Structure 1
Amino acid sequence: MNEGGTVGASADRVLDLFQGVRLTPTQRRIAHSLVQHAAAAAYLSAAEVAELAGVSQPSVTRFAVALGHDGYPALRRRLRELTGTGGAGEPSGGGNELQRAVGTEVANLERLAGELADTDRIAAVGKLLAASRPLPVLGLRAAAPLAAYFAFFAAKVHPDVRVLDDGGSLLADRLEQAAAAGATALLAFVLPRYPRETLDALAEARAAGLTVVAITDSPVSPATEHAEVVLPAAVGTDLVFDLHTAPMTLAMVVLSAICDAAPAETQRRLEAFESSAARRQLFLG
């Protein structure tokens, strides 16, 4: 299994089941398992769902009741209605498998566009992160390149961006050091398969007094247990390794919001960089 494997083509319909419902951590684990296995979820028994989520079978029944159903059989019927039958959850449309993978990414971006309708929320995230000096950015394993990509550009407009892309015992030290230096928030990229160290780091960040903003693949990902702000962007799973098109796009949206939160400083720092680049002849064009 690659460092991914999560939201399929029918996951958005399954996610609709959980909108507006306050779930316990155990129930979020069940919800996440149903999203991960959206194509097959409608045909799994309560015992199979419990095994997938690592919970007890009665927990699955209580989860179904929390969603407003009489029990798990009723929830399973609802899942079948949402996902359809015969190839449920498979991407629609023609073309070869490579074209369908790209088509899925287009759908993921369209879903992200819908999530961004609330511009006030993104603006608030930008202000929160812009005000954090320093700004720690966490991304381990598969998420490390996204953290580095974000930080490369963020460093042009923010005076102190600290990339946290290595796990181990030093990670907690670096979080505490960032908080001691004045950090008030952490931007975390939390992507499948959700390294245990990442979730431990989020807990450490909150213990250090940092407000956690998580860019993750699903509203019911494990990051929701530790983050005050969750920004979902689906991950593509149609190829051998995951596609992070939507999370990368969301990262740049967040960076734009940071720029908008401090326009004068952003302009000053960008102009200073351009002057430096010209003096050093960094670019050919």
Structure 2
Amino acid sequence: MNEKGADRVLALFADARLTPTQRRIAHTLIQHAGAAAWLSAAEVADLAGVSQPSVTRFAMALGHDGYPALRQLLREAATASPAENQDHKPDEVQHAVRRESANLGRLADDLTDPSRLTEAGALLAGSRPLPVLGLRAAAPLAAYFGFFAAKVLPDVRVLDSGGTLLTDRLEQARAAGATAMLAIVLPRYPREALDALGEARALGLRTVVITDSPVSPAAERAECVLTAPVGAGLVFDLHTAPMTLAMVLLQAICDAVPEETQRRLEEFESSAVRRQIFVP
């Protein structure tokens, strides 16, 4: 398949919200499009290492009645014969990375009006302690935010595990004086994260959510919603824009309490030098 043909195949899946298994199928079709466009659903399943029903569900997730309809589109996109070198792989990795650049551009455009960000920063800066919720895919991002937030706020509590202990920790934070919570809720949206947002509001906590879309199920459960698109070009999501938004939000928190921020940063630097934390 030539480069233009590969781009057309990529375009069939570029904006679809797919599960990791479905992305494996998409990548298999892209990488082997010269042959896959003429294979049955069972043969594609064998090539991708998934079940045949998974291939059918994949086609239906793209809006088709079944795999034959999708295969017809693949045939139209393929401009080379099936005998073409099947080891040729369109550069879907570069395509995915370039889409992340576009996602950052969309985020920058959304921040043209900083009012929501400023409101969220002030809301979270005033909460002592500050609970930060992030479950499943969002847990590393919550931990990353919490690591740096703890340098400027006295009590940051990262909530990265669910179950009944999650409710306990929310109640404990509220009893300790928390007035607001930051929740990072990313696809595939964990039910426990959505439930936790409801519990937080029932406890009287004001909620700020970082999520991927204004129509995310987390958006309707939050007082203040900040969005950043999630990259879906690889088997697993790319969280470049949400991570950037989280750090921009932390900047807004610092701007809301500048004197305290400066004092705590200076205290940390003095402590770091005394304990020789970092290599010169």
How high is the sequence identity, in percent, across the aligned residues?
A: 70
* Displacement after TM superposition at 1:113 (Å): 0.4
Q: Structure 1 unaligned segments of length 5 or more: list them.
A: 6-36, 45-85, 88-94
Equivalent AA in structure 2 for residue 175 of structure 1: L
In structure 2, give the amino acid aligned to 1:101: A
Structure 2 CA distance, aligned partners of 1:135 and 1:188? 11
Structure with the greater alpha carbon radius of gyration: 2
Residue of structure 1 equivalent to 2:177: 182
How much does 1:3 deviate? 9.9
Counterpart-to-counterpart distance in 2, 1:136 and 1:221: 21
Q: CA–CA distance in 2 between the matches of 1:119 and 1:165? A: 28
1:115 to 100, 110, 118: 110
**2:239 aligned partner:** 244
Query: Match of 1:156, as an amino acid?
Result: K
- SS of corresponding position for 2:172: helix
Alignment of 1:142-153 (within 5 A): 142-153=137-148
Q: How many residues align?
A: 204
Match for 2:227: what amino acid?
P
Q: Distance in 1 between matches of 2:221 and 2:165?
A: 20
Shift of 1:213: 0.5
Provide Cα deviations, 1:66-103, integer angstroms capped at 9, x if missing partner: xxxxxxxxxxxxxxxxxxxx98xxxxxxx711110011
Partner residue of 2:279?
284
- After TM superposition, the score normalised by the length of structure 1 is 0.68
Select which of 150, 157, 173 maps to 1:162. Answer: 157
Q: CA deviation at 1:136?
A: 0.2
Counterpart secondary structure, 1:204: helix
CA contact (8 A) 1:4 1:242 kept: no
Which residue in the other structure is 2:191 paired with? 196
RMSD (CA atoms): 2.1
Who is 1:141 aligned against?
A: 136
Give the match for residue 224 of structure 1. 219
C-alpha distance in 2 between matches for 1:210 and 1:159: 18
- Distance, in Å, in 2 between the alignment partners of 1:40 and 1:183 is 44
Letter in 1 for 2:20: N
Equivalent position SS for 1:187: strand
In structure 2, stretches of 5+ residues that fail to align are 1-18, 24-58, 66-75, 78-89
Q: Secondary structure at the match of 1:222?
A: coil
Partner of 1:129: 124
SS at match of 2:157: strand
